Structure 1
Amino acid sequence: MKVGVADTTFARVDMGAEAIDELRRHASVAIERYTVPGVKDLPVASKILLEERKCDIVIALGMPGGKEKDRMCAHEASQGLIRAQLMTNKHIIEVFVHEDEAENDSELAWLAKRRAREHAENAVLLIQHPERLVKQAGTGQRQGFEDAGPARQ
């Protein structure tokens, strides 16, 4: 299995390094990293990782700012990632941490690291152990902050 890790220089935390460390903890996989300037560059980086560098799955990591303009750029990047998935028939796990999700730099760093690591584990599960994800269906899993849990009936 080969996992692509696409990340950005715009992020204020090295989310790519966190994801790679976590991938190595959970599986023996080849890893291909591709770092680009910003989130809108992630779709093409992800597509290159899938098609040209022969990755089985990509984790796309970015940290949009907290302003309305940044939210719009993140939405455009997300749409591009979805298109790249449809064009390649392979998963791209989008891992965005918006700066306004945290109250301070310490919490922002904690959230970015945790979300990158939890999604790296999800990528391994999706490719190597999808049955484990089936067991988690409907359990309110969240990456980063605490899980929501299942809805009470």
Structure 2
Amino acid sequence: MSKRIGICSTTFARFDMASAAIKQIKKQVTGVKYIERYVPGVKDLPVAAKKLIEEENCDIVMAFGMPGGEKIDKLCAHEASTGLIQAQLMTNTHILEVFVHEDEGKDEKDLKELAYNRATQHADNLVKMLFKPEAMKKEAGTGVREGRENKGPL
């Protein structure tokens, strides 16, 4: 049976991270079924991800969102993140949270590059987690970071 990857993203995001991630995964593995769901904002992601796991039998889910830079947006992102963690614990299934906050970018070009990098690098993580777990072990303690320069080991 082929692996099923759930993809949930928001219409509020200003960059299509889901498509970038799917293209990145397709470069590395074949025979995967993608089940996509789209919701208005980040607080809608936890239930979408949980439904992808429970109703669509996804083996893993990626949840994409782009919270704004205001204080209320950060609170909403935190609530969404907490919900995603709870959904993982309730289903014993990984949900890779791929959030890019609007205030992380120096300008729109930098924000777009960050969103692309974070999406594709988390897609690489998904491939490792699902198909090459030994690769994740090799990276343990190396300071790998998604979206920006790696921090490196101590």
TM-score by length of 1: 0.97
Q: Mind listing any 5+ residue stretches in structure 2 that lack a counterpart?
A: none
Query: 2-side partners of 1:118 and 1:140: how far apart?
Result: 14
- 2:14 corresponds to which residue? 12
- 2:36 corresponds to which residue? 33
Structure 1 consecutive aligned stretches of length 4 or more whose deviation exceeds 4 Å? none
Match status 1:139 vs 2:142: yes
Range that drifts further, 19-28 or 130-139: 19-28
- 1:46 corresponds to which residue? 49
Report how far residue 30 of structure 1 moved.
1.1
What one-letter code is carried by the residue in structure 1 that aligns with 2:78?
H
Residue deviations 1:64-96, cap 9 Å, x none?
Answer: 000110000000000000000000000000000
What pairs with 1:67-146 in structure 2 (closer than 5 Å)?
Answer: 67-146=70-149
Report how far residue 124 of structure 1 moved.
1.2
Query: 2-side partners of 1:145 and 1:6: how far apart?
Result: 23
Q: Mind listing any 5+ residue stretches in structure 1 that lack a counterpart?
A: none
Root-mean-square deviation over aligned CA pairs: 0.6
Query: 1-side partners of 2:131 and 2:25: how far apart?
Result: 12
SS at match of 2:96: strand
- 2:5 corresponds to which residue? 3
SS at match of 1:82: helix
What one-letter code is carried by the residue in structure 2 that aligns with 1:92?
I
Range that drifts further, 19-28 or 76-85: 19-28
Aligned with residue 66 of structure 1, among 44, 66, 69: 69
Report how far residue 143 of structure 1 moved.
0.3
Between the two proteins, what is the percent identity of the paired residues? Answer: 54
The total of aligned residue pairs comes to: 151
TM-score by length of 2: 0.97
SS at match of 2:151: coil
